[in-house]
Amino acid sequence: MSRNPHPRQPPADAVAPSQWASDDVEAGDALAYWADVVCDTFVGVSVCPGSDGTFQGGMNTSVLEDVRFAEVAASAQQVARTRRLIARDDEDVLLANIQLRGSATLEQDGAVAVLTPGTMAFIDSTRPYVLDFPETFSQLVVKVPRARLSHRSLNGATAVRLDTSGPGRVVADFLVGINRLRHADPRAAADLMPHAVDLLDTTVSWAVGTKLPTTSTTALTRQRVHQFVRRHATNPGLDATTVAAGCGVSRRTMYRALAENGESLTELIRRLRVSHAQRLLAAHPRRALATVARECGFGGETQLYRAFKAVTGRTPGAHRSR
């Protein structure tokens, strides 16, 4: 069989996989090193070892678009995110934790979910939580910026066990499959990412007990709008008429659906364009800002600057220097 003379190249905005292991440092420094890795990869947390005081762990992580996949394998530990840590690190993300081996107990907002292999649960990074791993375990954690989801509120969706016998298992298996594919074919994995985000949106509905067939018409319209804008945000000609027509609704219906969730179309387009700009700045640190602005759908560098500052609180240059 002949080889493909034109192999598929990794997507431009994919970050090369990284690996960390506690074995890379002295035994006495392993836990502190691991805690730094966990905080850098996910959000700011405290990490305590199991009762025997020993610790060992490893992690393989990469980013597709702005969604991070991290496969974690480690010994017993407890991970906690407190209000004090949230005040220091206010990153607003959804964490989808899929148990691969061992078990875990997740507590958030007064709910408790016990995870066993094949089950999944969501975590809201903006509220305190505790994850307890009583034994050696492995998990796949998918980190998604809240801006990528049409569900702005995660109330009722966190610390809910999505079982192996329900539709959540299909979504969990899909995410695990993308995680495997990112090693063999990063381009194909990136092509599947929009579908993965849409599935997570749907699964959040399941977690709060509101399956899509019974979701309100307004909520369904809002989800369609988010999906359409997400796929066409870099089109500089994207406007209300185009979005409404693409979703098969009137402009008034579209505006009402977004307003019910406290957002506007302008804010949604701006947020998704800035998200795309963040990915490009990370993947191409030497690319001119004018070029980044054009590739993200902005009218020019000034528009990129203003939108970036409004959404992130810092300039594109400051973001790139980080």
Q: Give the per-residue pLDDT at 216.
A: 63
pLDDT in tens, 261-293: 788 999 999 988 998 888 888 778 889 999 999
Indicate whether 43 pLDDT > 90: yes
* Long-range pairs of 108-112 with CB within 8 A, sequence gap ≥ 24: 108/158, 108/159, 109/155, 109/158, 109/159, 111/158, 111/159, 111/160, 112/159
Q: Give the per-residue pLDDT at 322.
A: 65
**216-321 classified as CATH 1.10.10.60:** yes
Q: Angle CA(155)–CA(90)–CA(78) in degrees, nearest 5?
A: 75
Report d(CA 177, CA 204) in Å as an integer: 19
Enumerate the CATH 1.10.10.60 domain ranges in the chain, comma separated.
Answer: 216-321
Q: Give the per-residue pLDDT at 152.
A: 62
Q: Give the per-residue pLDDT at 17.
A: 53
Indicate whether 119 pLDDT > 60: yes
Q: Give the per-residue pLDDT at 9.
A: 44
Q: Give the per-residue pLDDT at 284.
A: 84
| Amino acid identity, position 132 | D
Q: Give the per-residue pLDDT at 125.
A: 95
The mean pLDDT value for 295-306 works out to 93
**15-197 classified as CATH 2.60.120.10:** yes
The mean pLDDT value for 291-308 works out to 93
Identify the sign of the CA torsion 314, 317, 320, 321.
negative
In the block, tokens 């701006």 appear at 270
- The model carries a pTM of 0.68
pLDDT in tens, 1-19: 333 333 344 444 444 457 8
Enumerate the CATH 2.60.120.10 domain ranges in the chain, comma separated.
Answer: 15-197
Q: Give the per-residue pLDDT at 158.
A: 93
Between 116 and 318, name the one with better pLDDT.
116
The mean pLDDT value for 44-65 works out to 85
Q: Give the per-residue pLDDT at 85.
A: 93
pLDDT band at 183 (very low <50, low <70, confident <90, very high): confident
The lowest-confidence range among 14-28, 49-63, 158-172, 279-293 is: 14-28
Q: Give the per-residue pLDDT at 95.
A: 97
Q: 98 - beta bridge partners?
A: 120, 140
